[in-house]
Every structure is written in C-alpha cells, then in structure tokens.
Amino acid sequence: MTQKVTIHDVAQQAQVSVGSVSRALNNYPHVSEELRSRVMAAALELDYQPAFLANGLRRGQTNSVGFLVGTIANPVISTIFEAASEALSDHGYAVTLLSSRNQAQLDVACLRLLARRQVSGLIVSSAAESPEPARRYVGELGIPTVMLDREATSDELVYAVQSDHESSMRQALAHLISRGHREIAFIGGPEDFYPTRQRCLAYQAALLDADLPQRPELIRFTSFNERAAYAEALLLLQSGTQPSALIVAGNIILAGALMALQDLGLVVGRDIALVACDDINLTRLYRPPITAIRRDLKLLGVTAARLLLRGMQVELNEIERIIKLPTELVLRESTQYARALPHKAPAARKEGAIRTTLN
Amino acid sequence: MTQKVTIHDVAQQAQVSVGSVSRALNNYPHVSEELRSRVMAAALELDYQPAFLANGLRRGQTNSVGFLVGTIANPVISTIFEAASEALSDHGYAVTLLSSRNQAQLDVACLRLLARRQVSGLIVSSAAESPEPARRYVGELGIPTVMLDREATSDELVYAVQSDHESSMRQALAHLISRGHREIAFIGGPEDFYPTRQRCLAYQAALLDADLPQRPELIRFTSFNERAAYAEALLLLQSGTQPSALIVAGNIILAGALMALQDLGLVVGRDIALVACDDINLTRLYRPPITAIRRDLKLLGVTAARLLLRGMQVELNEIERIIKLPTELVLRESTQYARALPHKAPAARKEGAIRTTLN
DNA sequence: CGCTAGCCTGAAATCGTTTTCCGCGCCAGA
DNA sequence: TCTGGCGCGGAAAACGATTTCAGGCTAGCG
C-alpha cells in the first residue's frame, strides 16, 4: 500500500522506458531536457521514491553508517553521537546505532552485524575492557572507519578523532598543586581504556614535573559501573593516606565518587578538592560547582562525521588521518579553597551566577 | 574483498544449486540431512553471510526499525532507547536512530526517510512543538509503530506505551500539601507535549481535590531548552506570588530551574521545596537530594520493543494496543522540611546514605 | 508390474533498481 | 550518396538472495 509505486509505474506514466527514468532522475548527462522534465513530473505526481534496497543492491552500497558505542546512556556519548548523526544525516546518510553493552565479545559481534548490513562507514567509540580484538577486526573489515576518542590503528581507511586529554590534565594538576595539594588521587576507568590512560599518563607526568612523589596507592582504576566506582572511591578514601584532592576521569565514575564522598561526610570543596574530567549538567549544577575539564563535544562529533565522509567519498585529497581536538579546564568552587584553609562562606551570589553560566 | 562470497560460491563449494543452499540455510522442510550438513559445512568454511540487501529486496523487509526522538542527548531518552535497542537487537533487528532536533517539520522528514528505507517498524518519541502532522503521517504509513510516552492514535498498527504520570503527580501534590505548601508552582515543557499535559492535568486535579485555589500564574510552560526554562523559572520566581514549592516536569527544565534558584540565592529544601519529574543522576546526587518521580526507564524501553515486535510479526493474538506503566514518587530532602519551619541541620550521615542509595 | 504420491533438488522467475549494450536517427564531411 | 560520430533512449543484463515450478526418484499400493 505505502511503497507500491515503482520505477515502472513512473515509466509508464511518462511513456518512457525504466532506464530513461533512472537516468533522468539521477542527473545523467545526455538526457534531453524534454524527457527529463516529463519524468520529473511523473515522479512528482506519483510521489515516487526509489526503493532503498534495490538501489543499494545494484549500487553495492547503503548510504548508512554504523555507530558502535559501549553505552548510549551517557551524556557525553549521546551528545557526541547526536552531533555526528546530524552531520551525517545532512549528507544523506542514516546512522544505525549499536551498543556493545561494554562487553568485548559483543563488540566484535556488533561489528560483524554492521558489516553484514554493508554499512558504508563506521564510527567506533566502544569502551570494552579489552579492545584489541575489535580494533584488529575493524582493520580487516576494509570499511572506512573513524575511531572516536580511541587509539588509532595503522590500517588504511581507519581514521581517528581524539581529545587532547593531556594538556588540560596537566593544567588541572598545576592548579591543584598551586593550591597546596600534594596528595592528589586519580580514579579512572579501565587501565587500557584510551582516555583513562592518556589522562593518567598526563597526571603522572605532571607530578614528575612538580617533583612530587608518585604514590601508586593514589591511582585507582575501575570499570564503567557506578557501583564499582563507588566501591573503589570508598576504598581509596578510607585507605591510610587521605588525599586532599581527587580527580575523577569520566562521568559515571564521578557519580560513584560523589556518592562515596557524601557517605563519608566529606564536603566537596571544603574537605577535599574535586576535579571532573567531563563537564556535564551535574558538574555545573552541583553545589559547590565542580571544576571540570571541558571539551567541545559537538565539535568532536561533527569532526568525526566529516572525517568519515571524506573517507567514504573518494575525493580524499591528502587528509589528516588522525585529528586531536583541544580541551579546556573550567575552574569552579570545588577546587577554590587552598589546602588546610578553614571553610569560608560561599562566594557572593553574583560570582556564583557567572560560574554556573550556560555552556 | 570483504563481502565477496555469495550464495553461488557456497553452492559451488557444496556441489549443489543455489536454491538448495538457500533452503538448507533457512531451515526449510524437505531438505535431506545430508545436503543440509554439506551446505552448512561449505558455508562455515567460506564464512558466508547472506547479503543483507539482496535478502531484504526479495523478502521485502529489512529487519530494521526506525527510532525517532527529539534529541538523544537526554539521559531519560537515551536510557529508554538503549533498553529498547537491546531488546530489538536480541531479535535480529537493527535500529537506526534519527533525531528531529525538536523541530516539527524535520519530524515528518525523518519519518519519510525511514519509510523510504523500508523499516519494518517504528518507535516514535519525538518532542516537536506541534506533533499533529507527524502523528497523522505515522498513521498513513502503514508501518507498525509504537508511540513512546506520547499520545496514541486510533490508527491500526499504531501502539503506545505510556507512563502513568498522573498518579505519582497526585502523590507528589498530596505530599507537598501535607507539608503545608499552598502556593505550588508547576513548570513544564510545551503545553501540548503529552507528558507535560498529563502532569499538568494531574496537578490541577490534585489542587481541586484539596480545595486549593487554581492560580494560573503558577503554571508555566516553556520549550525544551535550558535557557528558556531558566528564563521562565526566573520570571515565575520573581513574580508577585512567591511559590513555596516548585514542580519541574522534565530534566532539561530542571537544569534551567536549578540555575534560576541558585542565581536568586534560594536554597532548595530550605527556601523552596522542589520536586522533579524524572529521577536522574542530578536529582540523586544534588545537595540536598531532590524528591523525584521515578519510572522504570528500562522497562519502558523494553515494553516498547516487545510491543513493536508483536506488531511486526503476524502472530499478534489480541494484544493490548496501549500500555500504561507505573511511576513512583521518591521522597528526598528537597521536600523534607515543612513550610515556614526554620532551616535545620542536614540529616545525619547514615540517613543520607540510605537516601542516595543506588536505584 | 504399473501407477501414484511424496520427498528432494535443480532451474528459473522474481524483487526494483542501475548500468551496459546496442540501435536508431540525424548531421557533417568526404 | 555513403559513412562515421554523436545524442538519445529502449532492451536487457546484473546485483544476490528467495521462492515457485517442475521433474526425478523412491516407495507403497493395487
């Protein structure tokens, strides 16, 4: 009923052959103006829309890209996805989103599924604990792929967009150190998860630069799971060396850490300084507002989409295969007080307004 | 290179015809065990995967469903989506996600696009300001569709899963009234947005039940935009009648309202009681924790997926076309203090721990 | 022993496009 | 006048599967 009108109907309506209809509608050269307009009129009248499947079968291509994530229920991922999806959509590509549920074996299964569906391109931002098999499989696939804030591979057709986690992390540590903190703890995701590793390396490098001791017991890795992060934070905060500052890498981990702090009766900004590694509603609106490392998520998504588009169309004239985008440290009250200073009253209202400003 | 192995290769390898290969692999009856195993072996050896496009063209169906949202960058939507997507994925369906960017005209365009791609089913949870054209178009499409927390239509093949916004909203009002509040304000999304309307009707009904006056100036509608919500909340709070309690319908609006409260120096739970209409990280972790109406988002998503699956397979034996799922009021500190009581110290740590417990 | 019913399988039609191939007419140049 | 080239458009192949159709074989029954 809905999709009954085929190219044959249009051909009959316009009194031409199906081949001519196809040529006319696809803007081929050597089609007379008269025939073209006749076909256009017929197509318009019948509300003809070429069948996607037949088109794709013949052309060997689907005009759709697969997007693989560990979970979409994460404000950072979903914001990036939305931006990328809109950019791709503007170029006629539809996006099928697959979630690997943060499981490595599903990772590869999802990629297989997408390959079977003959997606024209892939964006991969999965967060499996052992990403290696998936990365290797992506290389074998021969499909243009953008690794999104993940480690690049040397395979042809595999591109990468990354955030510059290092520089802002070093800024964050410089900031904390300047405020007198020396026991600065770090809680990240899995140790081999790319952003976590980058942040952790920068954290260690910054300590080294400041001639501060590396304390292994202050570095904790956990999985992307609020309960696990909560437990790890609790362990850290109840261990012998009580840190005076805490850096949490990732918003799920932030949630767990905040719960641990609250359960221990530690007040953020007074008893302990807190830096978060992504700027989300929670960091802006929390009382006190939480210092965070911000990146332009929409830019990240759009850049991934553009890189993929370039990779999918053949006109790729000497394009960068790996792009690294800047990040920014946003100072807020959670790191405002210097160490060992007594708790002061919150800042005046006006200042508060500025700090919690939109964006 | 990747997808070169076709059914002909398998047929040649197994020394049978292509028709037999198809029958063997699709578990047709009347296929000898010997032939079946021979084909299986050949398929396995060649790593044959039937071409999705050819299969779909012949069968006239894609095994994929379209999911239309206003924006996926919303923790409530993305959680629902993920649950639905996983359930559909478990049954062999892939989901292509389209965002209408909260624009009505894009709404219809997105649906057209999905229809052209011959999706086998649709889940619609768009949030355009004027949803009517889209709803009508969905009915004309003749594709099994689930309206997700949106108004149902009387069209055949159109189903609906909704949350029972009314009962919890009435509970919330009863709770606030029992604490002495009489000037209870309501800020919602667009007036014709289904959840907003349901909540607002319940709000008004509850006031009526309690013999409290309806004050039109305490009911505000805004759009799904943090800035707009912020502005509207500011207007409300600075108008003549200062409400002692505030109900915000939706998490984007919550963010705007919290900013307005903070900018006015109003402390949640002390100067004003606050009830949020979706329980997200922010409501749990905010200080003080915010009383919220909770619903099982995963159940919502899974139910939508199951309803759609039933609608897509022909075996629909007298199934409910509209399902309404329960909601629940979660009491937290933001509504703990009775009106006009002086500000007391926060609850003891232990109690706090219980209140911010996971789930 | 012959006929039929039923299982099994190969050949071919089919899905709706795109694209190749070919032929027709026309015009210009020899 | 013949011919080669070019613009145009029709016919049919191709894409890769599923499904129909028909026929061969076996077994069972008269």
Count Cβ atoms below 10 Å from residue A237 Cβ, excluding itself. 19
Residue A336: predicted pLDDT: 85
Question: Out of B94, B98, B265, whose CB is closest to A117?
Answer: B94
Question: Out of B78, B99, B115, whose CB is closest to A73?
Answer: B78
**Nearest-by-CA chain A residue for B69:** A82
Question: Which nucleotide in the DNA or RNA is closest to residue B18, CA to C1'?
Answer: C10
The H or E element that residue B54 is part of is helix B52-59
| CA B309 to C1' C7, whole Å | 35
Q: Residue A69: phi, psi to the nearest 5?
A: -125, 165
Residue linked to tokens 């409501």: B283
| CA B24 to C1' D15, whole Å | 22
The pLDDT of residue B359 is above 80: no
- Chain B: closest CA distance from residue A79 (Å): 5
Residue B349: predicted pLDDT: 34
Residue A19 approaches strand D within 7 Å at CB: yes
∠A348-A327-A334 over CA atoms, to 5°?
Answer: 30
**What is the per-residue pLDDT across B55-106, written as a single tens digit (0 to 9) for each?**
999 999 999 999 999 999 999 999 999 999 999 999 999 999 999 998 888 9
- With the C-alpha atoms ordered A151, A154, A157, A161, is the resulting torsion angle positive or negative? positive
**What is the per-residue pLDDT across A320-330, written as a single tens digit (0 to 9) for each?**
788 899 999 99
Question: Which nucleotide in the DNA or RNA is closest to residue B59, CA to C1'?
Answer: D18
Residue A56 approaches strand C within 7 Å at CB: no
| CA B50 to C1' D16, whole Å | 8
Residue A244 approaches strand D within 7 Å at CB: no
Is the Cβ–Cβ distance between A221 and A228 less than 8 Å? no
Token output for A305: 């989409």
Residue B240: predicted pLDDT: 77
Strand order in the sheet with A327-330: A219-221, A184-188, A245-248, A273-276, A291-295, A327-330
Q: What is the pTM of this model?
A: 0.90
pLDDT band at residue B347, thresholds of 50, 70 and 90? very low
**What is the per-residue pLDDT across B165-203, written as a single tens digit (0 to 9) for each?**
999 999 999 999 999 999 999 999 999 899 999 999 999
Question: Out of B52, B78, B358, whose CB is closest to A72?
Answer: B78
Residue B201 approaches strand D within 7 Å at CB: no
Tell me which DSSP letter residue A37 carries: H
Residue B338: predicted pLDDT: 67
Give the residue from A79, A111, A262 with the most B CB atoms within 10 Å of its CB, the best one to mutate: A262
Is the Cβ–Cβ distance between B216 and B244 less than 8 Å? no
Question: Which nucleotide in the DNA or RNA is closest to residue A20, CA to C1'?
Answer: D9
Residue A350: predicted pLDDT: 34
Q: In chain C, which nucleotides are within 7 Å of a protein Cβ?
A: 7-12, 14-20
Q: Is A86 on the interface with B (CB under 8 A)?
A: yes
Report the protein residue whose CA lies nearest the C1' of nucleotide C6: B30
Residue linked to tokens 């959680």: B79
**What is the per-residue pLDDT across B259-278, written as a single tens digit (0 to 9) for each?**
999 999 999 999 999 999 99
The pLDDT of residue B343 is above 50: no
The H or E element that residue B294 is part of is strand B291-295
Q: In chain D, which nucleotides are within 7 Å of a protein Cβ?
A: 7-12, 14-20
- A356 vs B263: CB contact, 8 Å cut-off? yes
Residue B57 approaches strand D within 7 Å at CB: yes
Q: If you write DSSP's letter for every residue of B297-347 in order, what string do you get?
A: HHHHHHHHHHHHHHHHSS---S--SEEEE-EEEE--GGGTSPTTPPPPPPP
Q: What percent of chain B has pLDDT over 70?
A: 91
Q: If you write DSSP's letter for every residue of B227-274 in order, what string do you get?
A: HHHHHHHHHHHHSSS--SEEEE-SHHHHHHHHHHHHHTTPPBTTTBEE
Tell me which DSSP letter residue A268 carries: B
| CA B31 to C1' C2, whole Å | 28
Residue ranges for chain A with pLDDT beneath 50: 1, 316, 341-359
**What is the per-residue pLDDT across A84-133, written as a single tens digit (0 to 9) for each?**
999 999 999 999 999 999 888 899 999 999 999 999 999 999 987 677 88
Residue B170: predicted pLDDT: 96
